[in-house]
């Protein structure tokens, strides 16, 4: 199965996108195969776990999310700090 991510910038600040199989650091090799890049929208596909790298001149309006059908590729939602969800220790949905 091919996975992918989309980066969107309504202001047109995207420069490039890529994928790296290890935590990226300055000087890391970054794969750019399977990419599509314009200044407002970029996408990358990959077949293994890894890290998405987006190069942008500013991140003020940058939104990065998983790629699905493409229906929401050009939507921006501001970052919201994650919340903590405590899952039950047992399945409470089925009768005992």
Closest C-alpha to 30, from 56, 10, 55, 8: 55
pLDDT of residue 36: 92
Query: Rg (Cα) of the chain, in Å, rounded?
Result: 17
Check residue 2 and give its pLDDT: 63
Query: How confident is the model at residue 94, as a pLDDT?
Result: 62
Per-residue confidence (pLDDT) for residue 50, from 0 to 100: 87
Task: List the chain domain ranges.
Answer: 3-66
pLDDT value, residue 6: 93
pLDDT at 58: 94
Check if the beta carbon of residue 62 is closer than 8 Å to that of residue 54: yes
Element (H, E) at 7: strand 3-9
3-state secondary structure of 53: strand
10-residue averages of pLDDT along the chain (96 residues)? 83 94 87 91 89 93 83 76 72 63
């Amino acid at each position: 199965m091919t996975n992918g991510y989309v980066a969107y910038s309504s202001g047109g600040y995207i420069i490039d996108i890529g994928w790296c199989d290890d935590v990226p650091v300055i000087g890391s090799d970054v794969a750019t195969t399977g990419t599509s890049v314009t200044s407002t929208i970029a996408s990358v596909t990959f077949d293994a776990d890894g890290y998405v790298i987006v190069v942008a001149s500013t991140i003020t309006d940058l939104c990065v999310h998983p790629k699905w059908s493409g229906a929401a590729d050009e939507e921006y939602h501001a970052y919201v700090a994650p919340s903590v969800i405590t899952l039950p220790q047992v399945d409470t949905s089925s009768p005992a």
